[in-house]
Chain A
Amino acid sequence: MYGDLANKLILDAKRTTNLSALPLYQGDLVKDIIKEIQDLNKDAEFLEEQTDDGDEQLKINQCQLFVTHLSMRRNKRCLLAYERLRAEKVAEFAWLNIDPIGDPNATKSHTTIADNYIYSNYTTQLSLDNLNHAEEEYFKAYQDLMLEYKSAFADIDLSGDLEPPTNIFIDVRVLKDGGEVQTEYGSFNLIKDSQFYVRKSDVERLIQQGYLEEL
């Protein structure tokens, strides 16, 4: 039946909506739908040429022509909806400012934000292998576009966390002796049981290494 293929595509898009990664591009399906549209168009052209079949036949033809046009448009809308969703997910990922999977130059990658529920259906992973060529191009172009937009706001980290900032500075207690620690806010010595008020980002490693605990 005409429209069945497009339906499949929409089901795939629907499933994709809530995924944190973008699934493989449905290239074959898209190709088949395009073929279907082209076939429908040939039918339409044929019907349009039929003019001298008498009144009754003309009405039937016009009706058929109408349905054919509707089918073509519906297919086109499905293709657009599918690709638009994928483009949205690609752009969404670009905002995280981390490297996609399969990028040979990958340096940054982190998934900590994926733990927060506000990102629960946000695209936090992107595998370049799942994109078609045009999508890959779009991803790069969107990254450029985003960078250009961001450049107007030098002091604002637009890709930063969308959760309100809490605990930028924290109280910590020293758990074991160590050397001197340098921060922008001066230096302090790791002496067991002493306490400091420090910038969290300055001491995150020391907490992981067991030198400090957050109070």
Chain B
Amino acid sequence: MDIDDILQEFETATSRKETKKTPTTLYDELVVAMVNERMAPELLPFKHELLQKVLAQISNQQQFLLDSHEYGDVNAESGVVTGDFKLQLMIIETDIERINYLIRLYLRTRLSKIDKFTIFYINETADEDPDSKDRLLSSQEQKYMHQHFKILTRLYNNCFLKRLPHTLTLLDDTSGGQSMIVEPDLNQPVFVKSITDKPITISLGEDDELDLVNDGIYVVKYKLVRDYISIGDVVMI
């Protein structure tokens, strides 16, 4: 193998890296997770691993800040603590705040969807294996959902349900021509971007197709790109 081959290999390797823009840092992953969650009409699978990693890192950084401030207090007189060190701590603190904000938004977006489609997700998750790694909800969310449903039911009961005729006291009534269970609308149009150079062809029904090209931006029905979002070839924007 001569030098040209090596160079060529290097080139193809780097260009491949450029075309498949998978999120590389925790930061990017978190932004994608947050935006996907915000834009998807349904609840997406909880990012168990990502959250675990990020939360552990936040707690490390917090500890580092605490230790550093203590160290700074002790050594303030001797001039050991330089301005640069302080500036670095400030950057670390800002970084924590930024991550904190992304997680806050991510989690609260999820809760708002859980609240919107409570009965639907209670049914959806009823048969899930509680020890599985791919549970749709985190264990805290699961608890929140059931407990919230319980106190809401109590509220409805106390306000009026208990005084209604027995046949009308159900909350998940699907009779009478109209279901009382609110479900996510998977046909909602969404804005997406393809981030893979693998060809993606989606069917629009009635022998109509649409090719999603790398970096292309489209507005399509959510359910048509749902699978590509879950494997990460398409992100929501």
Binding site for B on A (CB under 8 A): 30, 33-34, 37-38, 41, 69-70, 72-73, 76-77, 79-80, 83-84, 87-88, 91, 95, 132-135, 137-138, 141-142, 145, 148-149, 152-158, 160-162, 164-165, 168-169, 184-187, 197, 199
Contact = CB atoms under 8 A, between A and B. Distances in A.
Nearest to B89: A185
A6 B77 CA distance: 73
B191 interface: no
B97 A168 contact: yes
B69 A184 contact: yes
Majority SS of interface residues in chain A? helix
B168 interface: yes
A37 B94 contact: no
Contact of A165 (B86, B98, B154, B178): B98
Please list the 3 inter-chain residue pairs (A to B) with the smallest Cβ-Cβ separation, ordered nearest first: A134-B158, A41-B165, A141-B151
Contacts of A77: 178, 180
Interface residues of B, number: 49
A197 B107 contact: no
28 contacts: A37-B165, A37-B168, A38-B163, A41-B165, A72-B168, A73-B168, A73-B173, A73-B176, A76-B168, A79-B159, A79-B160, A83-B156, A91-B115, A138-B155, A141-B154, A142-B148, A145-B148, A148-B144, A148-B147, A149-B143, A156-B107, A157-B100, A162-B108, A164-B98, A165-B101, A185-B90, A186-B76, A197-B87
B103 A185 contact: no
Interface of B: 55, 58-59, 62, 69, 72-73, 76, 81, 86-87, 89-90, 93-94, 97-98, 100-101, 103-105, 107-108, 111, 115, 140-141, 143-144, 147-148, 151-152, 154-156, 158-160, 163-165, 168, 171, 173, 176, 178, 180
A31 B107 CA distance: 38
Contacts of A137: 154-155, 158
B155 A134 contact: yes
Contacts of B160: 30, 33-34, 79, 83
Given A73-B176, A186-B81, A145 B144 contact: yes
A83 B159 contact: yes
A204 B10 CA distance: 53
Contacts, number: 129
Nearest to A90: B155
A145 B151 contact: yes
Contacts of A157: 100, 104
A186 B165 contact: no
Contacts of A160: 100-101, 104
Nearest to A73: B176
A79 B158 CA distance: 12
A18 B201 CA distance: 42
Nearest to A38: B165
